[in-house]
């Protein structure tokens, strides 16, 4: 295990332990405030397609944001986890059309559009556990979004990458590996921070 990999694992444990102290109500309230901040982003104004995700557990809630984007007429693509940890995508058609899937995830019940569908997104909202002052994001370690970001880069696609977090998850430094990609902005319940 490399120094970066072990550093990431330690930081993940610390941040997941902090999230475990939150209640479902804490996550829901944070999600409501986070949605208000996110909806003011230029990256989410006047866009045709946004790739997003359904929050689970103690992640900052995304439901209010997903519904608001859909109400604006935005085509919201949500991930569908494949057996190899890659992501397929399907259109968000409302909370009533979400189904339980592997690993406790919620996924859209609609037609799958293929892993390449993310290339149509002008903005990609990323889950994460932390981001640092350089915009380097720490994910959960499964590699699914690493594949998505590599697919975008290989296709020359340059959507705005935005991570949704709690304020305490904006940290001084995230261990970085060669495959990691910086994000353009982080949205927390306290506001928006942009990176150069």
143 belongs to an annotated ligand binding site: yes
Per-residue exposure over 102-135, b if at least 16 CB sit within 10 Å of its own CB, e if not: eeebbbbeeeebebebbbbbbbbbbbbbbbbeeb
142 belongs to an annotated ligand binding site: yes
12 belongs to an annotated ligand binding site: yes
Q: What is the DSSP string of 94-105?
A: -GGGEEE-GGG-
139 belongs to an annotated ligand binding site: yes
140 belongs to an annotated ligand binding site: yes
Alpha carbons within 13 A on the beta-carbon side of 185: 20
54 belongs to an annotated ligand binding site: yes
CA-based radius of gyration for the chain: 16
9 belongs to an annotated ligand binding site: yes
23 belongs to an annotated ligand binding site: no
94 belongs to an annotated ligand binding site: no
59 belongs to an annotated ligand binding site: yes
Binding residues for substrate: 54, 59
Name the binding residues: 8-12, 54, 59, 137-145
Task: Enumerate the known binding-site residues for ATP.
Answer: 8-12, 137-145
């Amino acid at each position: 295990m490399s120094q970066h990999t072990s550093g990431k694992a330690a930081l993940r444990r610390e941040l997941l332990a902090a999230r475990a102290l939150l209640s479902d109500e804490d996550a829901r309230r944070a999600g409501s405030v986070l949605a208000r901040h996110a909806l003011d982003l230029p990256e989410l104004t006047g866009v045709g397609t946004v790739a997003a995700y359904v929050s689970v557990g103690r992640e900052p809630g995304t439901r209010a944001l997903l519904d608001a984007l859909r109400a604006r007429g935005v085509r919201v693509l949500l991930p569908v986890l494949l057996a190899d940890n890659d992501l397929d995508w399907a259109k968000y058609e409302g909370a009533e059309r979400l189904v339980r899937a592997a690993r406790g995830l919620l996924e859209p019940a609609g037609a799958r559009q293929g892993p390449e569908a993310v290339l149509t997104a002008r903005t990609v909202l990323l889950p994460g556990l932390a981001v640092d002052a350089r915009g380097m994001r720490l994910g959960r370690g499964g590699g699914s979004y690493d594949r998505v970001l590599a697919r975008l880069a290989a296709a020359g696609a340059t959507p705005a990458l935005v991570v949704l977090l709690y304020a305490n998850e904006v940290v001084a430094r995230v261990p970085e590996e060669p495959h990691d990609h910086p994000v353009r902005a982080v949205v927390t319940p306290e506001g928006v921070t942009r990176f150069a």
